[in-house]
């Protein structure tokens, strides 16, 4: 799913397994278009704001009394903070939803005991282009019952749109410092011993290498932050320079793709 905000061009990817073209719900012409594709082929379609997700409405901006906002969750104190997202279930009494509702709401204002929250979908004001590629096709088998998936809901839920700051609302990230660690000892002690192992699995390495290959071009100078003994740069990339910035000199010295450290 591709879309543009005033800050960036965004691309959100989602893997969906066991799609049923006759039972699942598809947006626009996706269902009839995808069923005729072969493995590896793609189909894309553009959706105006409010087509793939519910449109933005002023009624979706709600007021919640301070006493109606959940203040404790698993022994953690919850302080409503402007610009931040919270589950709508935290204000279920005012919003008339279930306490377990995970759909996001963004706090726009908190003043005099009144919380103003936007419960509209984070993508409700954006044009969206949805593209799908067939990875594998399975022969149909006899089924009785089963679940029905809403494809538009799957690809737009759980994150897309939440990364964009709300216009006119300053996000308060640091009123309570969020980066304290359980183990606050000196990092140099941990990184002193070299670790010549991959910290991600083979599938993740393949995906990262593929992503780098789509973004990097020959005659490029690359800064590899948090570098180690391997940089995952595609082997077919030519005439490039990589500067590695890492925390262990032995690991950096073992990285054959680095030009200098």
* Predicted confidence (pLDDT) per residue in 205-221, tens digit: 999 999 999 999 999 99
Q: Say if residue 254 is in the same domain as residue 190.
A: yes
Q: Say if residue 34 is in the same domain as residue 8.
A: yes
The proportion of the chain whose per-residue pLDDT surpasses 70, expressed as a percent, equals 97
Closest CA to 30 of 16, 15, 40, 44: 44
| Stretch 188-194: mean pLDDT | 87
Residue 167 included in any domain? no
Q: Is the pLDDT of residue 5 over 90?
A: yes
Q: Give the pLDDT confidence score for residue 82 in this predicted structure.
A: 92
Q: Give the pLDDT confidence score for residue 71 in this predicted structure.
A: 85
Q: Say if residue 23 is in the same domain as residue 49.
A: yes
Q: Say if residue 34 is in the same domain as residue 145.
A: yes
Q: Say if residue 76 is in the same domain as residue 132.
A: no
pLDDT, tens digit (0-9, with 9 covering 90-100), for 69-110: 998 887 788 889 999 999 999 999 999 999 999 999 999 999
Q: What's the whole-model pTM score?
A: 0.67
Q: Say if residue 18 is in the same domain as residue 91.
A: no
Residue 254 included in any domain? yes
pLDDT band at 143 (very low <50, low <70, confident <90, very high): low
Q: Domain range holding 104? A: 58-118
Residue 71 included in any domain? yes
Q: Residue 80 is part of a domain; what is its CATH number?
A: 2.40.10
Long-range contacts of 232-236 (CB under 8 A, 24+ apart): 232/205, 232/208, 233/209, 233/257, 234/209, 234/210
Q: Give the pLDDT confidence score for residue 145 in this predicted structure.
A: 61
Q: Say if residue 102 is in the same domain as residue 143.
A: no
Q: Say if residue 142 is in the same domain as residue 242.
A: no
Q: Say if residue 37 is in the same domain as residue 131.
A: yes
Closest CA to 130 of 42, 65, 251: 42
Contact between residue 151 and residue 30 where contact means Cβ atoms under 8 Å apart: yes
Residue 172 included in any domain? no
pLDDT, tens digit (0-9, with 9 covering 90-100), for 36-50: 999 999 999 999 999
């Amino acid at each position: 799913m591709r879309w543009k905000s005033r800050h960036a061009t965004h691309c959100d990817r989602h893997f969906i397994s066991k799609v049923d073209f006759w039972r699942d719900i598809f947006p626009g012409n996706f269902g009839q278009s995808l069923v005729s594709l072969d493995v590896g082929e793609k189909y894309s379609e553009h959706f105006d704001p409010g087509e793939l997700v519910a449109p933005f409405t002023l009624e979706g901006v709600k007021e919640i009394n301070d006493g109606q906002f959940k203040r404790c969750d698993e022994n953690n104190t919850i302080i409503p903070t402007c610009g931040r997202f919270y589950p709508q279930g935290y204000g279920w009494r005012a919003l008339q939803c279930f306490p377990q509702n995970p759909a996001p709401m963004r706090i726009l204002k908190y003043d005099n005991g009144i919380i103003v929250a936007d419960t509209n979908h984070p993508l409700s004001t954006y044009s969206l282009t949805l593209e799908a590629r067939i990875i594998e096709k399975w022969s149909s088998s006899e089924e009785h019952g089963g679940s029905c998936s809403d494809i538009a809901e799957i690809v737009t839920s759980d994150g897309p749109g939440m990364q964009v700051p709300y216009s006119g609302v300053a996000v308060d990230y640091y009123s309570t410092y969020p980066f304290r660690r359980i183990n606050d000892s000196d990092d140099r002690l941990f990184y002193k011993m070299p670790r010549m192992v991959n910290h991600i699995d083979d599938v993740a390495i393949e995906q990262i290498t593929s992503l780098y290959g789509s973004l990097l071009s020959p005659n490029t100078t690359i800064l590899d932050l948090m570098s180690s003994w391997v940089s995952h740069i595609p082997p077919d990339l030519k005439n490039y320079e990589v500067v590695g910035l890492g925390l262990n000199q032995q690991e950096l010295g073992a990285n054959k793709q680095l030009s200098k450290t």
